[in-house]
Amino acid sequence: MPQPANNSQRFAFNRVLIGSFILYASAFAILLRNKGFDATGAVVVLIVFGIVFPLIAWIATRRAIPLSISVTPDKSQLIVLIGYIIVLSVYLVGGPQWIDQHLPSSWIDSARTRFFITLAKKLIVFVAIPFAIFRFGFGYRLRDFGIQAEGLRALRHSHLPVVVVVGGAFLAFQYFLSGGGAAFRHGQFSVNQLLIGLPICFIWLFVEAGLVEEFFFRALIQSHLAAAFKSEVSGTVLMSLIFGLAHAPGFIFRHAGEVEGLGSNPSALDAVAYSIVVLAISGVTFGVIWARTKNLFAVMLIHAAGDLLPNFTGFAKTWL
């Protein structure tokens, strides 16, 4: 009886997608009550990162051949994963700062040393621990996380267009339209800084942003959610929501909302709504690429390209 199963899968897919639209609209309506909320900026984020870039990613991956990975839709694994996400969200509220307080002050006072400390903390909680849980606890192989020799070969063939097209689109957007590219447009860097610093910064971001976020949110969370719901679209949507909601505790407890225009002490409802309306949208493009390639190296390269210009000023001040 294959047809009822297919209909059931379509219904489950529709429920997740339609539910996400309703959730987004509800969150947007909640934020409209906050005078500090930039509704126009949120609409721009929705159009650019929720529609345009995912569409570019989908077109660029039309001929991409996805890598073969094996993820078991097991209830116990999903429970462990959700539990770890909750623990991680609690840790992000004040855990990194607590660790810094117990490190030698000379380490924290050095901007260069702090770069490596921050990287180490991210690699441990976002990569090393979850990798160990699923590698040794559930028997997953490296290839099941999208880390394959075939992935490197695919970067020269069917996965090359998406890296070039989407990575290039991110760079163009950041340079011409984003505040992250203002320093470049105004010629604030020397030729030597650009020739030496840009490649090194890209390599740094390939690990610090690419590996950390893409391994955890795409190779781990999205893959398991897609397997559980038997839908890549559902996996992408739910992963994006989790990515956004993971930032909500920081808005509430660490006054991060002040940076985002929510005020120094936003309500829990505003923090959650903002996480859905603005931050969750930013994960959709990478979710599309992962769903259609299963190549961790590809999404890491694109992520590094997207973060390169906004992060280069701070990198240059520290290292160049």
Among 44, 312, 47, residue whose Cα is nearest residue 182: 312
pLDDT recorded at residue 262: 63
What are 319's two structure tokens? 């290292």
Q: Are 228 and 250 in contact (CB under 8 A)?
A: no
What is the per-residue pLDDT for 247? 75
Q: Is 17 helix (H, G, I), strand (E, B) or coil?
A: helix
Answer whether 161's CB lies under 8 Å from 60's CB: yes
- What's CA 264's distance to the chain center, in Å? 25
Q: Are 283 and 177 in contact (CB under 8 A)?
A: no
| Domains in the chain: boundaries | 2-319
Q: Where is 55: in which H helix or E strand?
A: helix 53-60
pLDDT at position 255: 53
Chain Cα centroid distance, residue 51? 16
Interatomic CA distance for residues 98 and 100, integer angstroms = 5
Q: What is the per-residue pLDDT for 62?
A: 95
Identify whether the C-beta of residue 299 lies closer than 8 Å to the C-beta of residue 217: no
The pTM score is: 0.91
Positions of the chain with pLDDT lower than 70, given as ranges: 1-13, 250-265
d(CA 9, CA 5): 6
pLDDT digits (tens, 9 = 90+) for 217-229: 999 999 999 999 9
Q: How far is CA 79 from the centre of its chain?
A: 21
Torsion of CA 308, 311, 312, 318, to 10 degrees: -140
